[in-house]
Structure 1
Amino acid sequence: MRRSAVSRLTALVALVVAGACTLDFDQFDSAGYQGPPAGSSGGGGGAPPPPTTTTTSAGSGGGEICTNGDDDDRDGEVDCADDGCDGFSCVAVPEDWEGPGLLYAGPASDEVECPAGFPTRVDVGGRDVEAPATCSPCACGEPEVRCDDPDITAYVDSQCDDAALTVGLPPGVCVPLSDNLPFDSFDGAPPDVRSASCPASGGEPTGPAPRFGVQALVCALGSSTGGCDAGETCAPRDVDDPFQPGACVWREGERRCPQGFGERHVFARDVIDDRGCTRCTCDEDGVRCTATTTFFANDDCDDPTISVRHDESCAEDAPAAASLRVEVAATGSCQPRGGSPTGEAVEGEDRMTVCCAR
């Protein structure tokens, strides 16, 4: 009996197992599975969601744009009234001031792009003028010299002892001589310098145009905002680099900041540039005149016989001559001076005051 009961129990277990193997697994809805409960450490979990970021115009949730006056996330609240705009606050622009906007103060403001929601660029000047004064070097041309007409003295002896005649000779002119002039020697002194000058050049400003070392730019809101009382604007409290922190207002002239905008910046709107250069001049150096008289066998000055330098030396035993011509030349050089930088570029009197909320 005991063996028969065991046999029946074994058969019953086998029947149950066989029935389980025929179950329809399609009846289990996998879409209804919600995963492990919160806090479980089941394997295969996904990466955590990216951190929320805040931009200049968007709220912390990313759905509400806080500077356009629209209910972007459809929650019934606009801009500063929306919980997603916790980085923004309502700003009342004081009377006679412009704003609000974002202030940039640094180098190369033309390379700075205004952020979304702040499309209007306002150039508010700068400070710390950079304008080195430099000049082109001075230079001199060839000296321009005028010489007196040279004199020549004729002697009746061959040693320049017994002077017979001293005459002034116009340079470059052929002078016929009388056949019966009994001259046997000649001498002449160098002609005097009548005038001398040197053309000067250079001494022109070559420095770059003046610019501000710190250039200031305000990016102003481009549309009406919402979520604030009348006369107020929704503006960011926390501002990303490279802009100054806080919303700003601005006004022409050098002003005290209105209440609530305690960070004061004053910028120059123009530059007074009186840079220049001292005048270039040239000093004559070693300028002198020389002359040479040439005698000719005929009266047309085309058959030279002897040349006499006007250096006060004697031309002895001069041959007979029918004509003569004197040539004058000048030598020397010019030394430049001047061309030094003068003046400077400074901030002008036209000012702009920008005040930002701390």
Structure 2
Amino acid sequence: ASLTTAPTITTTAVTGSAVGSYPISASGAVSSNYTISYGTNGTLTVTPVALTITADDQSKTYGSANPALTASYTGFVNGDTAASLTTAPTITTTAVTGSAVGSYPISASGAVSSNYTISYIDGNLTVTTATLTITADDQSKTYGSANPALTASYTGFVNGDTVASLTTAPTITTTAVAGSAVGSYLITASGAVSSNYTISYIDGNLTVTTATLTITSDDQSKTYGSANPVLTASYTGFVNGDTAASLTTAPTITTIAVAGSSVGSYPISASGAVSSNYTISYIDGNLTVTTVTLTITADDQSKTYGSANPVLTASYAGFVNGDTAASLTTAPTITTTAVAGSSVGSYPISASGAVSSNYTISYGTNGTLTVTPVALTITADDQSKTYGSANPALTASYT
């Protein structure tokens, strides 16, 4: 306090001066009583500050690329930031893209700054499960067939994984069996295991479609004029032990032919069968109406010698359906070799030429035209002569 002017003490260091040694000097002191000199400068030593670099915790899903690794800084002073470091820290982790689910250390190291004493705290990279969706594939089969192989599709595999990468593959099941009726049945997947995935499931459907059933009307035959036979059908395509009795509604089998239908072919049709398990198609059959045997026999006749031939007739055996000779397309021609002047004797009567599409016509044994003698009376004519004369010519009359 005795100095006229106190010394000024200064240093070149400022608040933001880097770590190091800075001179402290005194000057400017004034006193009339003293010759003032200054000793060796003092030293201002700037020492490092503690800086803690903490690797930030991170997370990623399994199979994804590592996130950007960052760090937090505790201890910066003087407005410093990470950019103030001579060398920024290197931040690394042992985890890679394909690392399994788990926790991996994140380490910071290698930062350089003369102004800081640097320490490090590790962080953690948490690898979380990826989402894997297992979808049971839709399938179809026809009624009565064995179940197809059940499969699944996978959405969400990463890192080159496949179903072979699962610890336990899924079990894929359905409630449908070989004999299940037409309809839709759930296909479910379950039981898959993997530590790297959170697994969810989507059901599929097994669609049982109709089998093809063909109903064929059986061919039948009958003779003209007879009642229709029992109409039947054959079945192609039944499965699962089914028979006609398995149909909800049996087919109706009909024909346009009736008892009196002419010889020919008539369709037999099946229709109206119902079953939810079959797609039903039909094939027509044929009812063949065949000819009946008709036998035409020329009737025996007689006449006397010299008379005209009688009307020649015939008898018929085999007409059906109320038919008569008038039903023939062409009536038979009935002939004999005898004529009006034919001598007494037997002459054949034959029938031929009858036509009918409904009959197979045959002819019986020929009839016989018998020519019988005519009664002839011969009367000796009366005669006369004179006594002693020769007898006259003797004559007769014929009746």
Q: TM-score by structure 1 length?
A: 0.20
Greater relative contact order (Cα < 8 A, sep 6+): 1
Structure showing the higher strand proportion among its residues: 2
Q: Between Structure 1 and Structure 2, whose CA radius of gyration is higher? A: 2
